[in-house]
């Protein structure tokens, strides 16, 4: 009789553990989704092109920056 009680209690413990595990897994998945969305970094696109001009003997480069946080493109000119 005592052994049967122990088996029943152990069975209940296993069932409770499975339910708790499922709840923890769901909560962790929700946490990961929320933090991933909050920490995703949007990259800035940089395009460089030699435009064929020379300034004081140095080639001039056109640099286009596209930042997803700002809708406009930024255009810079740079000589080496």
Question: Alpha helix (H) ranges present in 1-80?
Answer: 2-39
**Domain positions in the chain:** 1-40, 45-79
pLDDT tens sequence across 35-59: 876 666 667 778 888 888 888 888 8
pLDDT on residue 78: 62
Q: How far apart are CA 17 and CA 10, in angstroms?
A: 10
d(C-alpha 40, C-alpha 42), whole Å: 6
Q: Single out the residue of 67, 50, 69, 68 nearest to residue 59, CA to CA.
A: 50
pTM score, whole prediction: 0.42
């Amino acid at each position: 009789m005592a052994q049967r009680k122990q088996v029943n209690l152990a069975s209940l413990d296993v069932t409770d553990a499975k339910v708790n595990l499922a709840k923890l897994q769901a909560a962790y998945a929700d946490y990961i989704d929320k933090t991933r969305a909050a920490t995703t970094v949007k990259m800035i696109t940089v395009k460089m092109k030699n435009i064929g001009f020379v300034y004081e003997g140095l080639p001039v480069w056109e640099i286009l920056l596209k930042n997803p946080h700002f809708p406009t493109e930024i255009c810079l000119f740079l000589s080496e």
